[in-house]
Structure 1
Amino acid sequence: MATQVDRYGPLLLLPPDMTRAVEALCATLDNGVTVISERLPGRRSVALSLTVGNGSRDQAPDENGFAHLLEHMLFKGSTERDGDALNAAMESLGGTINAFTDRESTVFHGTVLAEDAADAFTLLTELLTKPRFDHADLRLEKRVVAQEAAMAAEDVEDWAQERALAEIWGTHPLAWPVLGNAQCIRSASRKRLQAYHQRILAESPLIITAVGEVEHGALCTWAEAAFRGPRGRARTAVPAPGFHGGQKRLRRAQAQQAHLIWMAPACSVA
């Protein structure tokens, strides 16, 4: 067993047989959920993720920011336990439970000991499928999201990146900031956010992934029990954005550095 030392201290390098996957399996269940697992021998932990194929590009103009706001609300308690009980359940696992929203997906993920994988999966699915949508929590999270947007606007690099995307994609939803539009977020009601949540549960693809000391059959059983109804109902397709090239110079007085961004069309990931 070798050890590599860098400026952060010792970094343990595991032998190849402890990092190589024994089996990488993929299955599509009757409920439409895709399950992918990769078993790593010698590991005592499991990394889990629930990837929902819904991001900021899938919002209507009057929902700009709902995807990110919904992610915040899903951590404020479920219909089975309030926010404090939910936080206590996450802390009792001794691992990490978190989420993030991007332009094309929302991901709920956690890393726990192998013996706690079933409990972590239950917690992640509870977050996703059974939010409580408390009025007071919604008012609070609107302010939190507004603060995040203000912080991003103060960061010149973030500001330049968002402006560049708006230049090349115009009014297409892919050009919208993931954090959303302040006016849309302020107008978000409990009823509208619930309707948005129900729509993405019914229409959005779901991929469940687990890596580590995990059994594929058990993971499929958990997914079948957690998501009983059919998924992937047809939704309105969002057309691909057109690329608008050219040069644009933007000046921001308080910037201490020059930021240059170059963007060009590329081949498809497929």
Structure 2
Amino acid sequence: MTVTAREQEPGSTYTVHPGADGAGVVRRTVLPGGLRIVTETMPTVRSVAFGIWAGVGSRDESHQEAGASHFLEHLLFKGTPKRTALEMSSLMDAVGGEMNAFTAKEYTCYYARVLDSDLPLAIDVVSDMVTASLIESQDVEAERGVILEEIAMHDDDPTDAVHDEFAAALFGDAPLGRPILGTVESISSLGQERIAGYYRDRYVAPNLVVAAAGNLDHDEVVRLVAAAFEASLGDAGRPPNTPRIEGAGAEVNPGVRSLDRPTEQANLILGTIGITRTDERRFALGVLNAALGGGMSSRLFQEIREKRGLAYSVYSYNSQYADTGTFGVYAGCLPAKVDEVLAICRDEVAKVAGGGITADELERGKGQLRGSFVLGLEDTGSRMSRIGKSELVYDSLLSVDDILARIEAVTLDDVRAIGEEVLGRPMTLSVIGPFEGRDFSL
């Protein structure tokens, strides 16, 4: 049974998954005002991962706010009325903990990993920075320079930049087509007042999820979080002032986006629109992805690297969002070999779109998907991320057994159908390399 924050009585606790012998128990509490707290108990470890997830990312930004979510992520580490930036980092260093954050297209996460005995400290520090950061003008100016350096570093790495170029080619000027970091122009123009307003409007209780996994007691986590958020929960019942900016665009923008760079290697992505994160066919698409370019036995790896030695790195991937998704094939090769590599990528994509995969590929794809999923949950950080992200962006948290069963249930017909739909769409191409004047649309 799925219980949403609106349905669950404030202050009550709901067991999402009972686990076994006290391990893997997932519990959920909704505080008055809408703040959600989810935990997973792992009594055999001596650590805890604690995170606060905000349902805001780069796709929620207007043109004038481009890069604001990531800019704000930096600023939340700069100090609160309770402690300075140095005091925050010193407290975590003193207990051997780690604290960090990341910004994605649709959410931002602030997290810490500590010994189980130091969980109260982690909750206090991370909650304080998320709810009470100062966002002072001098910190905005200092971090502006840091972020401009980060953008320059990102642009200097073609393996990173080609993904931004692909998003821009596929989605155009829609929010999902813009880089998470923003641009030099947008970051240079963002002022303290706009960022502080973005913080006040978006970081409200209904938009936040607190997640923790490890050797913990759920009731203690709830008590500590409630105390840490006490000052900020007075107006937590109000919704954010600015809703999510939708309209990424489900229409494919077939075409080419080529960036001339004097690089030693060409980097390319060939891809198209995928499916949403709640689409039940995502498990079939995952199996297809594994067969096409997900491992050393995949078609792309075998054809491009093993048989012909044309590239060191080649893979396929798929990403899902609230209302759309992407599917892409990446390859890095010598500029002189880009035509041959691109032709093989197109050919293999067309084969899967037209005829699906073999029975052997189906079984290998299932096994790879099962193994990577389970092995990726072997530490507290990944467990915290799974329950936190699920609470934030999914309707329910599927158990590990549920997910494994859904992977196992995928058939050849399922893969063939999703392959025909997704890979049969017009393709978009992004290329970075020394190709001045080259028309890849031909």
Q: What's the TM-score, normalizing by structure 2?
A: 0.54
2:55 matches 1:48: no
Query: Residues 52-80 of structure 1: CA distance to partner in whole angstroms, max 9, x if unpaired?
Result: 01111111211111111111111111111
Whether the 8 Å CA contact 1:172–1:241 is kept in 2: the answer is yes
Equivalent residue number for residue 136 of structure 1: 138
Greater C-alpha Rg: 2
Query: Would you say how many aligned residue pairs link Structure 1 and Structure 2?
Result: 254
Of 231, 250, 253, which aligns to 2:258?
250
Equivalent residue number for residue 393 of structure 2: none
How far apart in 1 are the matches of 2:22 and 2:247? 38
Paired residue type of 2:258: L
Equivalent residue number for residue 238 of structure 1: 245
Give the superposed CA RMSD: 2.2
Equivalent residue number for residue 189 of structure 1: 191
Paired residue type of 2:150: E
Equivalent residue number for residue 164 of structure 2: 162
What are structure 2's unaligned runs of at least 5 residues? 1-18, 279-442
Equivalent residue number for residue 208 of structure 2: 206
Q: Measure how far apart 1:255 and its partner are.
A: 2.1
Q: Measure how far apart 1:231 and its partner are.
A: 4.5
Query: Residues 8-42 of structure 1: CA distance to partner in whole angstroms, max 9, x if unpaired?
Result: xxxxxxxxx99993411123322211211111122
Q: Measure how far apart 1:259 and its partner are.
A: 2.2
Paired residue type of 2:246: P
How far apart in 1 are the matches of 2:190 and 2:125? 26
How far apart in 2 are the matches of 1:249 and 1:192? 32
Identity, in percent, stands at 28
Equivalent residue number for residue 264 of structure 1: 272
Paired residue type of 1:239: E
5 Å matches for 1:1-270?
21-202=23-204, 205-227=207-229, 228-229=233-234, 230-231=236-237, 233-234=239-240, 235-242=242-249, 243-248=251-256, 250-270=258-278
Task: Give 1 or 2: higher helix fraction.
Answer: 2
Query: Residues 94-122 of structure 1: CA distance to partner in whole angstroms, max 9, x if unpaired?
Result: 21011111111110011101111011011
Whether the 8 Å CA contact 2:43–2:214 is kept in 1: the answer is yes
Q: Secondary structure at the match of 1:256?
A: coil
Q: Secondary structure at the match of 2:255?
A: coil
Whether the 8 Å CA contact 2:51–2:109 is kept in 1: the answer is yes
How far apart in 2 are the matches of 1:91 and 1:18? 34
* 4+ residue segments displaced more than 4 Å: 17-20
What are structure 1's unaligned runs of at least 5 residues? 1-16
Q: Secondary structure at the match of 1:100?
A: strand
Query: Residues 97-153 of structure 1: CA distance to partner in whole angstroms, max 9, x if unpaired?
Result: 111111111100111011110110110011111112233222111000000001111
Q: Secondary structure at the match of 1:259?
A: strand
Paired residue type of 2:65: E
